[in-house]
A and B are shown apart, each in its own frame.
Chain A
Amino acid sequence: MAENDERARIEEARRIASDLLENGVVMGVLGLRRVESHVEPYLFTTKDELRDLNISGRYAIARVAENLLRRWDEGALGIIIRGCDERHLIELSKKKSVDLKRIITIGLACTDHEAKECHCLRPYPQKIDVGKSIGDVDYQDHETLARLMEMDISERRRFWSDIFNRCIKCYGCRNSCPLCNCEDCRLEESRWVRVGEIPPEFPSFHLIRAFHMADKCVGCGACERACPMGIPLGKLHQLIREDMKRLFKYETGLNPEDESPLQNDLEKNPLEVQLDEL
């Protein structure tokens, strides 16, 4: 049954992609294809090539779209996306580095199983073409997230300082993230993070990145998947996204017109919390 579902999903994706190609509305359709044991991004330009299409892999594909569009002076790009990829694209458009008008999406709703694997709270794009949305997921429904929140403060300190101590400063977390792309990175400046020292001192390296990403991160989990040391960065970011919602009623990746509350004054974005504890 599950296998049939998967087959139906991929057939549907293929059909929509090849329609787009046939009608000539896009220069190509960006998606994933399987190569040996892994998936890679691929620009499908003929119907035949779609044989190799893969829709079960995870890959933060927005950055590839960004590069392609930059390279082409004009023309539209088709792209097969999950909810997180759509949010990446929307965040990139806020930075003016992707023009959404040049993108035609084929939206993929993640399966229950996929959403669980990613600890995703919003496992669907706004426009769904393939599959059926399972809807929003409460963070408490993800066992690990719930457990992290249940820890008391000293348990958390132990947990995170131990786990951050595994870090070998490979910068995989930063490099894998389509939205973590400042030209000058604070994590490479000796003023903020000691150079040539591993593990990095607690909490500099990880919290500087966490804070910088707080109003951009879309919760895709690419950083966590990239980390060779198994540091659950994606889960940390999911929880920070919950904080952004609680403090500012703000969620990234939903509307290209939204502005980060951190950039605005209190009149434009009032706080959602009471300040009497200050």
Chain B
Amino acid sequence: MNKPLTAEAGEKKTELEFVPAIAVFHCRWCLPDSDSVRSLLNEEVAAKSVVIPLNCTARMEAEFAIKALSEGFDGILILGCEIGECHYRTGNHRALKRLLLLRDILALVGIYPERLGFFWVSPFDQENIRLTINEYLDKLQELGSFK
């Protein structure tokens, strides 16, 4: 899955620069459209990634993330509504707890917990979402491939 990408003509990228593949799960209340979520990723990452809408981050089960790692994704990014803004009132509370715990469990077995990124975002601040995602991707780049 993580074969080095060959640099395209005209680009100055070195051949071996690592491009992470990520699985993105987003709440469809704050971010209704998967295509626009995908457009927040840089092109190379987007090409290797999947973007999956959830009705609420509460739907995000630990298995989704664990399986994504097993299948060769380098990171899992979860985007949901800010605490207090959940359409179902407290769906994201549950997601938050579950994801915090999962992060700890990943770290226990030696998986960088930063691979699991979860961010509560406001749909009215797309710029902030873009920045958040970029920071997350920079971190993944630093960590390198999961496998």
B70 within 8 A of A: yes
B107 within 8 A of A: yes
Would you call B109 and A157 a contact (CB within 8 A)?
yes
Shortest C-beta distance, A246 to chain B (Å), equals 8
The 8 Å CB contact of B66, one of A159, A161, A208, A271, is A208
The 8 Å CB contact of B105, one of A159, A201, A210, A265, is A210
Name the residue in A155, A204, A263 with the highest tally of chain B Cβ atoms < 10 Å from its Cβ.
A204
A171 within 8 A of B: no
Would you call B101 and A243 a contact (CB within 8 A)?
yes
Q: Within 8 Å CB of A154, what residues of B? A: 110
A203 within 8 A of B: yes
Q: Within 8 Å CB of B104, what residues of A? A: 240, 243, 246-247
Q: Within 8 Å CB of B118, what residues of A? A: 278
Q: Within 8 Å CB of B18, what residues of A? A: none
Q: Mark B97-117, 1 if CB is under 8 A from A, else 0.
A: 110111011111111100000
Chain B residue with Cβ nearest A202 = B70
Given contacts A192-B67, A204-B67, contact A156 B108 (CB under 8 A): yes
Shortest C-beta distance, A161 to chain B (Å), equals 7
Q: Within 8 Å CB of B96, what residues of A? A: 266, 271
Q: Within 8 Å CB of B66, what residues of A? A: 203-204, 207-208, 211
Q: Within 8 Å CB of A206, what residues of B? A: 109
Q: Name 14 A/B residue pairs within 8 A (Cβ), A-sorted.
A: A157-B110, A158-B110, A160-B109, A186-B63, A211-B102, A211-B105, A214-B105, A236-B109, A248-B97, A261-B97, A262-B94, A262-B101, A265-B90, A265-B93
Given contacts A203-B70, A248-B97, A262-B98, contact A161 B110 (CB under 8 A): yes
Residues in chain A within 8 A of chain B (CB atoms): 148, 151, 153-161, 164, 186, 191-192, 201-204, 206-208, 210-212, 214, 236, 239-240, 243-244, 246-248, 261-267, 269, 271, 273, 278
Q: Please measure, in the bound complex, the distance between the C-alpha atom of A105 and the C-alpha atom of B120, giving whole angstroms.
A: 47
Q: Within 8 Å CB of B1, what residues of A? A: none
Q: Within 8 Å CB of A186, what residues of B? A: 63
Chain A residue with Cβ nearest B104 = A243
Would you call B100 and A271 a contact (CB within 8 A)?
yes
Q: Within 8 Å CB of A244, what residues of B? A: 101
Chain B residue with Cβ nearest A211 = B62
Shortest C-beta distance, A259 to chain B (Å), equals 12
Shortest C-beta distance, B44 to chain A (Å), equals 26
The 8 Å CB contact of A204, one of B70, B106, B119, B120, is B70
Would you call B105 and A262 a contact (CB within 8 A)?
no
B83 within 8 A of A: yes
Would you call B112 and A153 a contact (CB within 8 A)?
yes
Q: Within 8 Å CB of B108, what residues of A? A: 148, 156, 160, 236, 239-240, 243
Would you call B70 and A247 a contact (CB within 8 A)?
no
B69 within 8 A of A: yes
Q: Within 8 Å CB of A191, what residues of B? A: 67
Q: Within 8 Å CB of A202, what residues of B? A: 70
Q: Within 8 Å CB of B102, what residues of A? A: 211
Name the residue in A148, A203, A210 with the highest tally of chain B Cβ atoms < 10 Å from its Cβ.
A203
Shortest C-beta distance, A201 to chain B (Å), equals 4
Other than the known A161-B110, A203-B106, A211-B102, what 12 A-B pairs have Cβ atoms closer than 8 Å? Answer: A157-B109, A159-B110, A164-B109, A201-B70, A204-B69, A204-B70, A208-B63, A211-B62, A236-B108, A240-B108, A246-B104, A269-B97
Chain A residue with Cβ nearest B107 = A153
The 8 Å CB contact of A247, one of B63, B101, B107, is B101
Would you call A247 and B100 a contact (CB within 8 A)?
yes
Q: Within 8 Å CB of A158, what residues of B? A: 110
The 8 Å CB contact of A192, one of B63, B89, B106, B119, is B63
Would you call A155 and B110 a contact (CB within 8 A)?
yes
Shortest C-beta distance, B110 to chain A (Å), equals 3
Q: Please measure, in the bound complex, the distance between the C-alpha atom of A265 and the C-alpha atom of B4, giving whole angstroms.
A: 43
Q: Within 8 Å CB of A207, what residues of B? A: 62, 66, 105-106, 109
